[in-house]
Amino acid sequence: MPKAETDIAGPVIAAAAAVAKAVKASVLFVYVSALDDLAALQTALKPPTKPILVCRDAQDEQRAKEISAEALTVPGFDLTRMDQIKMATLIAFAQGLLNTGDVFVFLSGVAGRSIDTLVTMRVGEEYELFQSVGQPKLTEHIRRPIFEKVLRIALELAHEGREGKPVGALLVIGDHREVEKYSLEGRINPFKGYTEKERNILNDSIAETVKEIAKMDGAFIIKGNGVIVTACATLRPAIAGEKLPQGLGARHATAAAITANTKSIAITLSESTGDVRIWRRGAMITEIERAPRALLDGASPPSVT
């Protein structure tokens, strides 16, 4: 690692430890690949803040084990700094490592380079995917591992496409009986005839099937316990969602509308941009964008503190 980059890490770690103490952060996240001296981070932090090392591959996981630190494994995709943070915190929330109201500090940087970005944030309403406070009570509990698995599949499709081609997708989770009321009849269900175990999203063999079927038009309807009810569904919700941001099309309008009509969560993948968006209560609550090549090469905006 070039000396100019290495010199940044020490002051950033010291600043992160001071900020974590001042705001009483419960967690400090850092990408393992962006930090040479993990032990220095552990030494600098004081209770109640605990470090969670964000790992992108097996090598990162091994480094975390060497210092006996808690690890969070995320897909090893190239994202901008802020979208690295969005992805990791969403997965951390899905795994119960973060809860509503928690304050966290996050250290990040361009993938594979030294940390240069410090962000502190309180987990607010945008992360209340599984809470009832300030939200309509879900008629069917959406298990955190189910949300995480569907999100990972969407992110993998965004990164990989299918057979080298970009793919669009709409996956609706929870409140499946109400969601099905807005599904038009007459479409073939690729999962018909399979047992619930065989079509559960947590089944290791189902992910590739989902990715393959995603090339076809229509939505996936998934129970809160992970069982795929159907795919290739045409949804026609009665009530429209909130006004969409400019440039979003029919798939996103359907996601907004179905979550306005039902107590579900929808995840969309844009075929044109590869961006992944999460929808609830008729509105987009989180967006993870594919990184422009220039940002990944280091021509990035200034750090956020």
Between 17 and 166, where is the model more confident? Answer: 17
The torsion angles phi and psi of 75, rounded to 5 degrees, stand at -55, 140
With b meaning 16 or more CB within 10 Å and e meaning fewer, what string describes 142-154?
bbeebbbbbbbbb
- As given in the structure block, the two tokens for residue 100 are 């509503």
CA distances (Å), 149 to each of 57, 122, 128, 225, in order? 17, 24, 17, 11
Between helices 144-160 and 81-94, what is the axis angle to 10°?
A: 150
What percent of the chain lies above the pLDDT cut of 90? 41
With b meaning 16 or more CB within 10 Å and e meaning fewer, what string describes 73-89?
bbbebbbbbbbbbbbbb
- Domains of the chain and any CATH numbers: 3-130 (3.40.1380.20), 144-280 (3.40.1700.10)
Between 277 and 185, where is the model more confident? Answer: 277
DSSP state of 189: -
pTM: 0.81
SS3 assignment, position 233 = strand
Name the least confident of 61-75, 142-156, 197-211, 284-298: 284-298
Contact criterion met (CB below 8 Å) for 42 and 72: no
Q: Which tens digits make up the pLDDT trace of 70-113?
A: 999 998 877 888 888 888 988 888 888 888 788 999 998 776 66
Q: Which tens digits make up the pLDDT trace of 201-247?
A: 999 889 899 999 998 889 999 999 999 999 999 999 987 877 887 77
CA distances (Å), 165 to each of 76, 94, 114, 183, in order? 19, 29, 32, 27
